Amino acid sequence: MVIRCQVEVLYFAKSAEIAGIRSETISVPREIKSLQLWNEIETRHPGLADIRNQEMKLPLSPPLVEGSVFEPLEKDMNEVEEKSKDIIKFTAKKLSVDEVSQLVTSPLCGAISLFVGTTRNNFEGKKVVSLEYEAYLPMAENEVRKIYGDIRQKWPVKHIAVFHRLGLVPVSEASIIIAVSSAHRAASLEAVSYAIDNLKAKVPIWKKEMYEESSSCWKRNKECFWATSD
């Protein structure tokens, strides 16, 4: 007798539009390969075949655990802090460079380096009016934590913060702010560059461009490690 289990499948971005649902539970054999699982999903939603990657990568989702270890954002910044902070925030609210800068400020540091990504108003001749961001938060936060760990192994930085917008982001508004503080500028500058490059390559965040003529398109991020070259 084949032992079966229940698997929850989550759909994001273009896959959610094609499937017409955000999630579903399917019954599969307990021992199943990733390709077999994908074939089962594709049987249910044939339209997904058009967006299938050539290379199958189905990482396990990190568990949702109550009692987050994230640093509280309300901590008094007048206090001299010895402990380094790793701050992550995904939000639908407008981002503030001043707020993020304050969170990584330390009397022990002489440099704060920032990257601010904003919505531009054009793409290949089309007028862009806004972007829409979507993320699988448990996995996204886990991947950002891994990037933080890599940064701390490579550079002597003090505090790190990544704030990312979700939902609609109008033209010229910030969609992401990355801030890193360190005793000297070289470490924070290199760490910020590393952070944005790896965030775009590894973190499951999807972006839809909304155009002036009322059309839209989910953008394929060619920097993602699972993307195949054309």
Q: From the annotation, which residues make up the binding site for substrate?
A: 184-185, 200, 207-209
Count each helix (H run) and each strand (E run) in the chain, helices first. Answer: 5, 11
Cα angle value 136/173/84 (rounded, 5°): 60
Binding residues: 184-185, 200, 207-209
- Give the tokens for residue 134: 């979507």
- Give the tokens for residue 123: 């793409």
> Residue 67: how many CA atoms within 13 Å on its side-chain side?
0
Other C-beta atoms lying within 10 Å of the C-beta of residue 118: 16
> Residue 194: how many CA atoms within 13 Å on its side-chain side?
20
Amino acid at 10: L
Whether the CB-CB separation of 166 and 94 falls below 8 Å is answered with no
CA 101 to chain centre: 20
